[in-house]
């Protein structure tokens, strides 16, 4: 859920920028390390980012009548790990602001925090957790995308109610959550299903890619995501 | 559904050749003034001014602009109603006669302020998006010391967005002609197929790009030729106009103060 340009008061714009920037900088140093060692990962990362953008511009006719689109964040986080996914999501958000006028420049920090940091980290943790219990990859992907989405909305609602705590933060939070719940709960389920379908087709057609990324197979699946890209 | 990227307009409008630093400086500084404004007056002025710039100076067709403007306008209006009804603590001025909902003065004023700020901010964003091509934006970003690796990734991504969009559109139309989106269940299945195929194509493209780059002496950094436009080329007249304009706006913000539409 993009927060529109001009929606947040300037103090909060600044605040979310200050929180988002260190994380993105950390992600950039990771990417730099990876690409310095294996220059061939740079075009791969770039096309994956472009893929995330294109995926987010596909509109899915949704149950609530409004149009929704997949965010691709869950998939990105599971495939590349949260640090790399957050940098890719940042670039995607900038492109969405400038090419599609979704989101905005002053609210970029807040949007990066909810969609580029909280979403991917949650999705990645959920996926790793479910893998550890020993359930299948598909179930893991479904819950990763679903919870990644939901947590993104919870974060957005928190950001909005922090900015407009009227009469109190708690009451505003409940109002925003109720409004989101009507539209976003079914949407997140649809996105979860969609991500599973995408993942299963990739598994059928080109399992070697997933094996390269160590999403499935090999015992070392617990490796840090950065190592994953070094192998590619 | 895919065709509405603003890129075509950015490359072919009357302001394309204006110095990019000037356009971005104008857009961002006006956006900030709109954001810090505490009364709805200045954001409305900004929204009108920017729309006039876009339609009459940049010569974007007003038909397209209105359609484009309608989405944030509708969303803003929705937010306005939402805030007017739910975000008031003061005296009620209007009973809706439904679930005890009332419109209050402070809720109405807050909603209207946020609504106008959104319009002001959005028109500034639209001004940048519709008049400045991405490639020029990259050269501006380079000046503000964005890490090089991020810029290189962004440039490659920018190129591949359009390649992939083409493929996605083709796949989507083929699926649609075969009734792939006739029900929700089919939609999910079709879109899943589209997404996975796109990802695999993406991957192949990435591998091929690397081979192509390596055969052209890629050593880890991408070197590009830039138009030699400089921040100094803005010209004193333009710069003076810009500063004067922003000062007038800031003064306007100062004098309008906390003025709301409804005062009780």
Span B64-77, pLDDT tens digits: 888 888 877 887 88
What confidence score (pLDDT) does residue A71 get?
Answer: 67
Q: How crowded is the C-beta side of B189, counted as CA atoms within 13 Å? A: 11
Rounded to whole angstroms, how far apart are CA atoms B101 and B99?
A: 5
pLDDT by residue for chain B (264 residues), tens only, comes to 445 567 777 777 887 778 888 888 888 889 888 888 888 888 888 999 999 988 888 888 888 888 888 877 887 888 888 777 777 666 666 666 666 667 777 778 888 888 888 888 889 988 888 888 887 888 788 777 788 888 888 888 888 888 888 888 888 889 989 988 888 788 888 888 888 888 888 888 888 888 888 888 877 677 766 666 666 777 788 888 888 888 888 888 788 776 666 655
ipTM > 0.95 for the complex? no
The answer to whether position A231 is within a domain reads no
**Residue A207: inside a domain, yes or no?**
yes
Structural domain including A177 reads 11-222
CB contact under 8 A, A44 and B191: no
Asked, for residue A58, whether it belongs to a domain, the answer is yes
Q: Is the residue at A122 inside a domain?
A: yes
> Is A90 part of a structural domain of the chain?
yes
Q: How far is A7 from chain B (nearest CA, A)?
A: 6
User: Structural domain boundaries of chain B?
Assistant: 1-132+230-264, 147-228
Give the tens place of pLDDT for each residue, A135-193: 878 888 888 888 888 888 888 888 888 888 777 788 888 877 887 777 777 778 878 88
Cα–Cα distance, B47 to B118 (Å, whole number): 9
What is the per-residue pLDDT for A66?
A: 44
Calculate how close chain B gets to A105, using CA atoms only, in Å.
Answer: 7
> Which of A35, A37, A51 is the best substitution to test chain B (most B C-beta atoms within 10 A)?
A51
List the 38-97 stretch of A: residues with Cβ below 8 A of B. 39-40, 42-51, 53-55, 57-61, 63, 70, 87-88, 91-92, 94-95, 97
CATH code, domain carrying A130 = 1.10.1760.20
pLDDT > 70 fraction of chain A, expressed in percent and rounded: 84
What pLDDT does residue B262 have?
Answer: 62
Per-residue pLDDT of chain A (232 residues; tens, 9 = 90+): 678 787 888 888 899 999 999 999 998 988 888 888 777 778 878 888 888 888 777 665 544 334 456 667 778 888 888 888 889 888 988 888 887 777 788 888 998 998 889 988 998 899 888 888 888 788 888 888 888 888 888 888 888 888 887 777 888 888 778 877 777 777 788 788 888 888 888 888 877 777 776 665 543 444 445 555 555 4
CA dihedral A34, A38, A42, A44 (to 10 degrees): -110
Considering only the beta carbons, identify the residue of B184, B191, B198 that sits closest to A63: B184
CB of B249 within 8 A of CB of B30?
A: yes
Residue A57 inside a domain? The answer is yes
Candidate from B1, B75, B206 with C-beta closest to A59: B1
Domain count, chain A: 1
Confirm whether A4 is domain-assigned. Answer: no
């Amino acid at each position: 859920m993009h927060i529109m340009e001009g929606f947040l008061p300037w103090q909060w714009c600044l605040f979310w920028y200050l929180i988002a920037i260190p994380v993105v900088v950390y992600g950039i140093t990771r990417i730099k390390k990876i690409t310095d060692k294996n220059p061939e990962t740079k075009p791969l990362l770039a096309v994956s980012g472009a893929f995330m953008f294109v995926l987010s511009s596909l509109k899915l006719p949704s149950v609530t009548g409004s149009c929704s689109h997949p965010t691709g964040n869950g998939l990105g986080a599971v495939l590349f790990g949260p640090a790399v996914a957050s940098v890719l999501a940042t670039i995607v958000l900038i492109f969405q602001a400038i090419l599609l006028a979704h989101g905005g420049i002053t609210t970029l920090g807040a949007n990066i925090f909810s969609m580029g940091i909280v979403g991917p980290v949650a999705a990645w943790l959920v996926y790793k957790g479910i893998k550890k219990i020993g359930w299948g990859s598909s179930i893991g992907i479904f819950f990763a995308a679903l919870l990644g989405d939901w947590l993104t909305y919870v974060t957005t609602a928190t950001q909005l109610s922090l900015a407009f705590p009227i009469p109190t933060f708690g009451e505003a939070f409940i109002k925003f959550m109720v409004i989101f719940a009507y539209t976003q709960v079914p949407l997140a389920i649809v996105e979860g299903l969609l991500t599973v379908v995408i993942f299963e087709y990739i598994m059928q057609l080109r399992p070697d890619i997933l094996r390269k990324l160590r999403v499935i197979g090999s015992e070392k699946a617990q490796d840090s995501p950065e190592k994953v890209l070094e192998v590619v | 559904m895919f065709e509405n990227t603003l890129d075509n307009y950015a490359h072919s409008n009357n302001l394309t050749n204006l110095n990019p630093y000037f356009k971005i400086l104008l857009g961002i500084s006006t956006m900030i003034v709109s954001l810090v404004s505490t009364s709805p007056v200045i954001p409305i002025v900004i929204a009108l001014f920017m729309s006039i710039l876009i339609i009459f100076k940049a010569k974007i067709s007003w038909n397209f602009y209105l359609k484009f403007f309608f989405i944030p306008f509708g969303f803003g209006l929705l937010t306005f109603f939402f805030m007017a009804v739910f975000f008031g603590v003061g005296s009620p001025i209007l009973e809706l006669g439904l679930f005890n909902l009332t419109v209050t003065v402070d809720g109405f004023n807050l909603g209207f302020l946020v609504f106008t700020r959104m319009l002001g901010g959005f028109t500034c964003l639209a001004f940048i998006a519709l008049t400045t091509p991405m490639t020029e934006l990259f050269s501006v970003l380079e000046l503000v010391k964005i890490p090089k690796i991020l810029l290189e990734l962004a440039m490659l991504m920018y190129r591949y967005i359009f390649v992939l969009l083409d493929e996605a559109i083709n796949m989507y139309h083929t699926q649609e002609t075969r009734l792939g989106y006739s029900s929700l269940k089919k939609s999910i299945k079709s879109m899943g197929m589209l997404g996975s195929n796109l990802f695999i194509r993406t991957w192949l493209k990435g591998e091929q790009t690397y081979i192509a780059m390596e055969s052209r002496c890629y050593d880890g950094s991408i070197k590009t030729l830039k138009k030699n436009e400089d921040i100094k080329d803005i010209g004193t007249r333009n710069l003076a106009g810009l500063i004067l304009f922003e000062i007038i706006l800031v003064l306007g913000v100062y004098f309008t103060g906390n003025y709301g539409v409804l005062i009780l």
